[in-house]
Chains A and B, each alone.
Chain A
Amino acid sequence: MNALSILIFIPVLFALLIWAIPSAWRNSYKYLTLGAALIQLAVAVYIYLNFQTGAAFGGIDHAGQYQFVQKLSWINFALGDTTRLQIDYYVGIDGISVALLVMSALVMVVATLASWEITSNLKGFFILFLVLDMAVMGVFCALDFFLFYLFYELMLLPLYFLIGMWGGVRREYAAIKFFLYTLFGSVFMLLVMIGLYLSVTDPTTGNHTFNMVTMMSPANYVPGSVFDIANRYLIFGIDARTLGFIILFIAFAIKVPVVPFHTWLPDAHVEAPTPVSILLAGVLLKIGGYGIIRICAGIFPDAALSSAYWIGLLGVISILYGALNALAQRDLKRLIAYSSVSHMGFVLLGIASFTPEGLGGAMMQMVSHGFLSAMLFFLVGVIYNRVHDRDIYNFRGLSTLMPKYTVYVMIAFFASLGLPGFSAFVAEAFSLAGAFKSFTFNGLIPQWMAVCGVVGILLSAAYFLWTLQRMFFGKQLLKGGEAWHLALKDINLRETLTLLPLAVLALALGVMPWLVFDKVNDSVLAIVHFTSQFIGN
């Protein structure tokens, strides 16, 4: 059986199991979910270890270079006499997916461990959680656009309920905001998907197809069709391919999130329970970045290159805007949410450069941010669970009260602000190096953007250190007085078990970045090679 399919469907299996077990045994649910996540992690590690590298495994636009491929005919019937509707269950991974896949599997485990705090309606929570898990894995593996879209939409529903039912005070508002934002993006994605379907034919069967790899090759477009590269088709006077690109980009930009499509994120994070925050920041944001690389740049490389300037600009704006907003927050969780916006801006900047360094840095940043944001949100969860407050000004001098906790907070903060030795440093340094090199390499984005991005690193130091100073150092002072003093116990074993691996990973990836780069490089070079054909078009 295909390893990817196992990865995708294990959660479903366990979800069914949980559904079948009566609520009287509700305490077993979390262990079952943890079991699912661990098995998934084992499979992901297996995939990672068996993932082959080399120029022959670049992937991207070469269907033969994907690994762990499984292709089953799924929906296939004749429409009239001439055409057939052809939708495949088509999964496979290349370097871009594999790093994110392993990262997601690990974040899933962390999120499960954070779910211990959930007390109400356990059955519903864990079933939705596992469905979400499946959808996420599916998105990273799918190579058929229809399948991708299916998983993509499937993520929305569980998330809506997870935020809306287990969230904080304003959970309904946050949930509906999140839902509408994302739906807004994906509805138009549907249109583009159908347009692509009608424009592309499978060279072997001659049928229209949703196969994404097929969509990447200009030769497969039907001459004169909407998205044909050779004949530009205009919609409302705008080039159809550019329009298609913009629509897909906005859909993924909402996910990333890119300023100005980001305001759902702080609200969703603040209201969501800890495990959902972890998943949101750790995994779901990466789907945006992944989508931009795989789909926007893969299917519309010409439009992506011509809009690289704007992508880079949005990236820089996100970096600075997110960082400055984080500086203004007094809710710890909101601060971290805005810092996510800022950090994901580096991903965008790296992608926009279309240099090997920039793209590699962007991938690294996604993986690194996956671990670090999971860690950060988990840490916020620790304190919120104890006293149900997150206001920075209500705490002071926590370091004497919770020394171990403070150590982890410092690790997470310093890793996030890009201290060398941790993963984010390598990621940010190379995103910026790529952005800088772009000018001499392919002339896509000007150097000042990289310089502005550098300022973001400074600001991130400012807001993290300020928080450290306000909350953790100085004389001890708690708003809740004695009650809080008793409630704020140092982290327990479960929490240590969650945080330690994350801290170790952040350090490991910083010292041994080849763990990621080795797997990613071939695909990154393949993208650069692939897109460079379209420069000047």
Chain B
Amino acid sequence: MPLAAFVFNALALNKKSAVAGWVSTLAILVSTVCAVNVFARVWDSESYIHQQQVWFTIGATKVYVGLLLNNLSVLLLLLVSVIALPVHIYGMAYMKGDPHFGRYFTYLSLFCFSMLALVVADNLILVYAFWELVGFSSYLLIGFWNTRDKAVLANKKAFIMNRIGDIGLLAAIVTLFAQFGTFDIDALFGQHGLISQATIQDGAWVTAMGISMPAVWQWVACIGIFMAVAAKSAQFPLHTWLPDAMEGPTSVSALIHAATMVAAGVFLLGRFFPLFSETQLMVLAVIGCFTAFMAATIALTQNDLKRVLAYSTISQLGFMVMAMGIGAYASSLFHLVTHAFFKCLLFLSAGIIIHEMQHLKDEHQLDIDPQNILYMGGLRKKLPFTFVVCVIAACALIGLPLTSGFLSKDGILIQSFEWAGHHGGIWYLIPVFSIISSMLTAFYISRLIFKVFFGEFEPEKANPHIHPHFTDGGLAYKIPLAFLALSCFFPIFSFNPFSYESAWVVKGLTLAEHGGEADLLHTIIPVGITLVSIGIIYWAYNIYVSPNRKLFPQDTFLFKLSYNEWFIDSFYNNAIVKGTLSLSGALFWIDKTVIDGFVGLLQNIVLTLASITKWLDKYIVDGFLHTLAATTVAISNFVRGFQNGRVQYYLFSMMAVLLAFFIYKILI
């Protein structure tokens, strides 16, 4: 097994060479084969592999480097490499002709390396390190076209928002380290790990070793982890970077911002699951549910093809986090897996569409935005293959029967009802809102499909002389898409198309057995949702395609709220970014005026003191001396007058003295 890790590492380095896509693709192929091999050995084998060796020692603490392979990590390992492989193949065609072709694959390989390492890392320091490297490679890829201002703004935003998550994770890690004295994930979160033995007593968080700290730090650790999850998996309130991140190449969006990296947050939740208490899980559920709902409403009105998909991703991630929150651990990860396939597929198809639109724009010098769905339409006939795979993916996203999305999403919904049944009362809002979000999903993705593929091609309508020659692209496009499309169907995951519980992913991950207490739900919910979804699709068809279409009013408050993405971004810009900047400006002013002013004041005081002493020196001390000197001079001048060498003067002065003497005598 260290061999496998070594292979990953070596490949990553190898892939750094600029010799372009083949190296990278080959490398990821090898990784995939290794991953499959590892997966076969570890999955469901009741055992896990944990190997480590000392990395370095700091003080008396040894820090290890090693890998931990259990069901969770091998599942992700397989997922990442299996998704990355078609994206690599696709990328070779998609990025062809780009002047920085080699750089693209270097970055992509760096990302794959960090992501694969992240899922197998066995201690928190490594998790953090690769966690951030994943963010870093995403930063590089979002800003791949770094002469575009928007791309650079977007990658800065992505990195900084991810950094907020990172510092949360770091805070959580150091808290755990301070409390338990180890970074080892297995020791902390294993079946009888330190976390499970730690208890909360009288407001203090006590470990098995008897070390305690106030219970609030257990919350801090959880909040820190939540921040990390929210940043990577784009949960409210840290989700705003993901739509902007669509500035990167579309194949990157497919791999990183739809299938793998954003799933890292959910993965992290999976790893840290034992840390969360009941209440904290409820908070998670609420936030996940809210994110799912909010993002779905935003996706309704966006016109940028990739932005719609981005918000759809956020919404689906919200489902996963919510599923974690309600304890549907296995379903959450199952949804992660299925979502990775169909969302990746959607993005790759979007890539083809955008690519063709861009060509059209360049060819005819049109003033259109190649990503805006308002400029599309009727592409069904022009890109038939893309159309088919897109519809498959959309069905999976909506969760229609026979698709993988049906299995995983309905699993979550069913369990949310069960969960609400346990808690009762207001908690029924969670399943209700998730159903609503699910309906919204059906609507916005239908809108997308209808706008793009049905109706008439808008640019053609505007200038009839345009004759676009669109193609679905060569095999390098078609094979990955076909592969991903196949993976959207149920047999890949379960032979029973209607029961999520028989899916192998769920079986391998389920922590505890669920009783079949609410069998009724298992039938009602899927059937109900399917029917309503079909109704919504038909409704959307009526609105967007049929000749007598009716448009929504575009000036209502709700529309604006949705179109402007709930104003969250502008709030951040105005309140937080500007606030920080003005704070920093103010502090710089303090630096200049107060501290330097104080130093200047000291200087002035010393200088004033110096001039006072100078004055004293000059006028008092010297003045005294000068007076003395002047007096002496005056006296001596006076006396000198007597001694001029003339005898008659001497006689005169003697007489004068005698006279004075006599006068003196007489007077006394």
Contacts and interface: CB of A to CB of B under 8 A. Distances in A.
Nearest to B56: A514
Interface string A395-407: 0010110000000
B591 A263 contact: yes
A465 B139 CA distance: 10
B153 interface: yes
A263 B599 CA distance: 9
A363 B227 CA distance: 30
Contacts of A532: none
A419 B159 CA distance: 11
Interface string B598-613: 0100010000000000
Interface in B262-288: none
Residue from A355, A425, A465, A466 with most neighbouring chain B CB atoms (10 Å): A465
Contacts of B173: 433
A328 B584 contact: yes
A11 B173 CA distance: 46
B91 interface: no
Contact of B160 (A177, A260, A355, A461): A461
B420 to A, nearest CB: 35
Interface residues of B, number: 52
Interface string B116-130: 000000000100111
Nearest to B577: A462
A430 interface: yes
Interface stretch (B141-149, B502-510, B556-564): B141-149
B630 interface: no
Interface stretch (A58-66, A491-499, A517-525): A517-525
B57 A521 contact: yes
B587 interface: yes
Contacts of A455: 167
A328 B585 contact: yes
Contacts of B587: 321, 324-325, 328
Interface string A439-479: 11100000100110011011101100110110011111000
Interface in B18-38: none
B55 A325 contact: no
A513 interface: yes
B164 A440 contact: no
B147 A324 contact: no
A95 to B, nearest CB: 12
Contact of A325 (B56, B580, B591): B591
Contact of B133 (A177, A420, A465): A420
B170 interface: yes
B131 to A, nearest CB: 8
B7 interface: no
B647 interface: no
B220 A521 contact: no
A474 B58 contact: no
Interface in A43-93: none
Interface stretch (B174-182, B386-394, B544-552, B633-641): B174-182
A360 B59 CA distance: 7
Nearest to B58: A360
A513 B129 contact: no
A327 B584 contact: yes
A140 interface: no
A357 B58 contact: yes
A253 B170 CA distance: 28
B152 A521 contact: no
Interface in A303-348: 321, 324-329
Nearest to A515: B56
A525 B587 CA distance: 38
Interface string B561-583: 00000000000000000001101
A515 to B, nearest CB: 9
A475 B170 CA distance: 36
B53 interface: no
A325 B153 CA distance: 22
Interface string A405-434: 000000000100001110001000110110
Contacts of A437: 174, 177-178
A450 B585 contact: no
B580 A440 contact: no
Given A263-B591, A325-B584, A419-B133, A469 B152 contact: yes
A517 B57 contact: yes
Nearest to B592: A263
A528 interface: yes
A457 B595 contact: no
A328 B581 contact: yes
Interface hub of A180, A356, A357 (most chain B Cβ within 10 A): A357
Contacts of B56: 512-514, 517-518
A14 interface: no
A465 B129 contact: no
B584 A397 contact: no
Contacts of B584: 324-328
Nearest to B150: A474
A361 interface: yes
B217 interface: yes
B355 interface: no
B171 A357 contact: no
Nearest to A516: B56
A436 interface: yes
Contacts of A379: none
Nearest to A470: B152
A454 B170 contact: yes
A177 B167 CA distance: 37
B149 A436 contact: no
A155 interface: no
A284 interface: no
Given A325-B591, A357-B61, A458 B178 contact: no
B356 interface: no
Interface in B238-295: none
A250 interface: no
Contacts of A521: 57-59
B50 interface: no
Contacts of B591: 263, 266, 325
A512 B63 CA distance: 12
A226 interface: no
A256 interface: no
B655 interface: no
A281 interface: no
A359 interface: yes
Interface string B81-99: 0000000000000000000
A469 B143 CA distance: 10
B581 A356 contact: no
A220 B167 CA distance: 46
A528 B61 CA distance: 13
Contacts of B649: none
Contacts of A263: 591, 595-596, 599
A430 B129 CA distance: 13
Interface string A242-281: 0000000000000000001011001000000000000000
12 contacts: A325-B584, A357-B61, A420-B133, A425-B132, A429-B125, A435-B174, A437-B174, A441-B178, A447-B178, A462-B580, A474-B146, A518-B56
Interface of A: 177, 180-181, 260, 262-263, 266, 321, 324-329, 355-357, 359-361, 397, 399-400, 414, 419-421, 425, 429-430, 432-433, 435-437, 439-441, 447, 450-451, 454-455, 457-459, 461-462, 465-466, 468-469, 472-476, 512-514, 517-518, 521, 524-525, 528
Given A454-B171, A457-B163, A473-B143, 8 more contacts: A357-B58, A357-B59, A419-B132, A433-B173, A465-B156, A472-B146, A513-B56, A518-B57
